Amino acid sequence: MREITFDIETANILPSLARQDVTRLELAVVAIHDSETGEFSSYSKEELTKLWPIIEKADTLIGYNSNSFDIPLLNHYYPGDLTQIHSVDLMVEVQQVLGRRLRLQSIAEATLKVGKSGDGLQSVRWWQEGLYDKVREYCIQDVRITRQLYDYALEKGVLKYKDLKDIRDVKLSTSSWQQPKAAPAFTHTLEL
């Protein structure tokens, strides 16, 4: 089974970003981990034609806040419909249990004892300053953290978060995570 863990960084921000506005953002970089090769890679907006064949061969897309942010934004550039590919959004999985959203930073620190190297606003500033490699590295680090959280949850059935001073478990049902939908109901736009 081929799993693509991914994250997106944008080249801009909107003053008031409502969920329906996500496609008004401009893509800067998409970073991925391909479970088939074990490799991390990144793609700018101009390089997306190299990414599409990889995505189209995926059984599952894995992300953090990916269902309401990354997939809709990436779908804006993709000529098909990425929502037809099975996805696991770790933020949604946690939110379904807790009834609230948690930041990736919070879960990474409590579960993996690692922090992020920046945040989305800092990434936009780096991009606008021409520090493109720094944005790519930051995005790949987020993918690395997301993949480690996914693997941890599969192995242990929980993720952790800090609630005031206490570290608490979020028990997750991971049984459907590695059971993708039947063949996607869309036509691949590129030769495979």
| pLDDT, position 91 | 96
| pLDDT, position 164 | 81
Distance, CA of 89 to CA of 63 (rounded, Å): 5
Residue that has been written with the tokens 């953002």 in this structure: 25
Cα–Cα distances in angstroms (integers) from residue 184 to residues 75, 85, 131, 174, in the given order: 15, 6, 37, 21
CA–chain centroid gap for 17, Å, is: 18
Cα-Cα-Cα-Cα dihedral sign, residues 122, 125, 129, 132: positive
In SS3 terms, 98-113 reads as HCCCCCHHHHHHHHHC
| pLDDT, position 15 | 64
Query: End-to-end distance of the chain based on CA atoms, in angstroms?
Result: 16
How does pLDDT run along the chain (192 residues), one tens digit per residue?
A: 999 999 999 998 766 655 557 778 899 999 999 999 999 999 999 999 999 999 999 999 999 999 999 999 999 999 999 999 999 999 999 999 999 999 888 899 999 988 766 666 778 888 889 899 999 999 999 999 999 999 999 999 999 998 888 899 999 999 989 886 665 544 455 544
Domain 3-171, CATH class in plain words: alpha beta
Q: Which residues pair with 161 in a beta bridge?
A: 168
Task: Return the domain boundaries, the chain.
Answer: 3-171
| pLDDT, position 184 | 53
pTM: 0.89
- Non-local (6+) Cβ contacts of 61 within 8 A are 3, 4, 5, 6, 55, 71, 82, 85, 86, 87, 88
